[in-house]
Amino acid sequence: GQQLNQSPQSMFIQEGEDVSMNCTSSSIFNTWLWYKQDPGEGPVLLIALYKAGELTSNGRLTAQFGITRKDSFLNISASIPSDVGIYFCAGLPNSGNTPLVFGKGTRLSVIA
């Protein structure tokens, strides 16, 4: 099936630092979503993007839908310990009624 390349695979950062992660694909997507998963829990939606070029914020989080519709990035500003978790990108393909495609996740660790 279709794949999303999410990077980096893991990050170790100091509290207060900014974080950036991204997803790329060889295919066009209609929608980009970013989720966060805490240990032992299901992913929770952070931001949804619906239009190419769209830039959306949710508190300290900012995400953008790439102009080419083949990529998206997520930035976290001034990281705090509770930002720890796995962040997933997901894209809705531009080809009929098909399920979301997920990246493999970015594991974020924050050092206080």
Partner 1 sequence: DGGITQSPKYLFRKEGQNVTLSCEQNLNHDAMYWYRQDPGQGLRLIYYSQIVNDFQKGDIAEGYSVSREKKESFPLTVTSAQKNPTAFYLCASTDKGGNIQYFGAGTRLSVL
Binding site for partner 1 (CB under 8 A): 1, 6, 9, 30-31, 33, 35, 40-45, 48, 50, 88, 90, 92, 97, 99-100, 102-105
Please compute Rg for the chain using Cα positions: 13
CB closer to partner 1, 50 vs 57: 50
DSSP letter for 9, please: S
Q: Tokens representing 36?
A: 């966060």
Closer of 78 and 94 to partner 1 (Cβ): 94
Q: Smallest gap, in angstroms, from Cβ of residue 9 to partner 1?
A: 8
Q: How far is the CB of 6 from partner 1 (least distance, A)?
A: 8
Quick one: 90 or 108, whose CB is closer to partner 1?
Answer: 90
What amino acid is encoded at 109 in this protein?
Answer: S
CB of 29 to partner 1, least distance (A): 10
- In terms of Cα–Cα distance, which of 77, 78, 75, 66 is closest to 24? 66
Angle at 39 between CA 37 and CA 41, to 5 degrees: 65
